[in-house]
Amino acid sequence: MDIANVSSALNTVSSYNIGTSVSGVSLQEYVGVAMLDKTMELNEQLNASMIQALERSVTPHLGGNIDLYV
């Protein structure tokens, strides 16, 4: 995702209003909230994947014993 292009696109459409269905919220704000929602969904998916990877990497039998030689 190219943030610079998205920012310029939001600046281009900032003067438009999507009508009364969003009760006067500008299109820029509406698109910004939609992008934030998508970003949060992506982060949730990535977090779930990371948790699964960490759960698979746990080996409880390692580190339980220490062998010492004097």
Global pTM value? 0.49
User: DSSP code of 22?
Assistant: G
pLDDT for the residue numbered 14: 60
Q: What is the pLDDT of residue 20?
A: 47
H, E, C per residue of the chain: CCHHHHHHHHHHCCCCECCHHHCCCEHHHHHHHHHHHHHHHHHHHHHHHHHHHHHHHCCCCCCCCCCCCC
Q: Express each pLDDT in 11-60 by its tens digit.
A: 666 655 555 455 556 778 888 888 999 999 999 999 999 998 888 877 76
